[in-house]
Amino acid sequence: MSPLKKLEIDILTLFPGMFTGPLGESLLQKAQAKGLLKIRLHNLRDFSQDKHRKADDKIFGGGTGMLIQVEPIWRALKYLGAFKKGKSRPCVVYLSPQGEKLTQDLVKDLARNKRLILLCGRYEGIDERAMSWIDREVSIGDYVLTGGEIPAMVLTDALARMVPGVVKEQESVENDSFYDGKLDCSHYSRPAEFMKMKVPGVLLSGNHKDIKEWRKKDALEKTIKKRPDLL
């Protein structure tokens, strides 16, 4: 028996319908079909005790906007076993613009968990009292979005790639841009010449040592030119 490392992700959101497209296609779909990845969507409204299934409310002290209430979050986290003690406790991640910036290193770190709960912020965010149950607050970059759902999809995609077997060649995961802190080298496919633009000869030479050296140099040059901050 192969040691299947499965990743389980529970997503808490007011808009579960937003996820069906991205998670139901391509690699993420295949990973779920193979049992390598289990994604469960939960509507925060289902954890509301309000007769209208409301999970948001006005902000104390006045001002515009609404907040996700503390009680539905608490009920949802309790239901998902977030308050249990021990190793089986899932890691609770809150997607917000105030979080730690998502990088490949953070993805690798989070991928060490067997179970993750992703809480998607909406409106002005969550009641501050819910912050005590959050293990990691993560932002996908310094820009403003309408909700944490797209960040949760971004994180889910990046995490799924780290599960052995999801990406066909594990080598390709490790050779990717950012994995070793540099950009990827240039790639070419047929035809060898298009409108007088030629593929670098070395790549057609069949000399694997030369090709490896060329790629290393190309990746370095690219990084210097496009993202010197990475070096």
Q: Decide if 56 is catalytic.
A: no
Handedness of CA 149, 151, 168, 199 (dihedral sign): positive
**61 C-beta neighbours (distance < 10 Å), count:** 5
Give least dist CB 101 to ligand 4H7, A.
Answer: 9
Q: Decide if 176 is catalytic.
A: yes
| CB contact burial 176-206 (16+ within 10 A = b; e otherwise) | ebeeeebbbbeeeeeeeeeeeeebeeebeee
Catalytic-role residue among 45, 46, 75, 97? 97
Residue with tokens 């909700």: 147
| Binding residue (CB under 6 A) for ligand 4H7 from 13, 69, 96, 156 | 96
| Binding residue (CB under 6 A) for ligand 4H7 from 117, 125, 133, 166 | 125
Three-state DSSP class for residue 143: coil
Shorter beta-carbon distance to ligand 4H7: residue 15 or 179 = 15
Catalytic-role residue among 46, 57, 124, 184? 124
Cis peptide before 3 (omega within 30 of 0): no
Residue 139 phi, psi (nearest 5): -115, 145
Q: Decide if 45 is catalytic.
A: no
129 belongs to the binding site for ligand 4H7 (CB under 6 A): no
Shorter beta-carbon distance to ligand 4H7: residue 45 or 222 = 45
Q: Decide if 124 is catalytic.
A: yes
231: tokens are 């070096």
Residue with tokens 């992700």: 9
Question: In the window 131-160, what residues touch ligand 4H7 (CB under 6 A)?
Answer: 139-141, 143-145, 147-148, 151
Give least dist CB 159 to ligand 4H7, A.
Answer: 15
Give least dist CB 113 to ligand 4H7, A.
Answer: 19
Give least dist CB 29 to ligand 4H7, A.
Answer: 24
Candidates 91, 121, 94; CA nearest to 109 is: 91
Interaction site with ligand 4H7 (CB under 6 A):
95-97, 121, 124-125, 139-141, 143-145, 147-148, 151
Q: Which residues are catalytic?
A: 97, 124, 161, 176
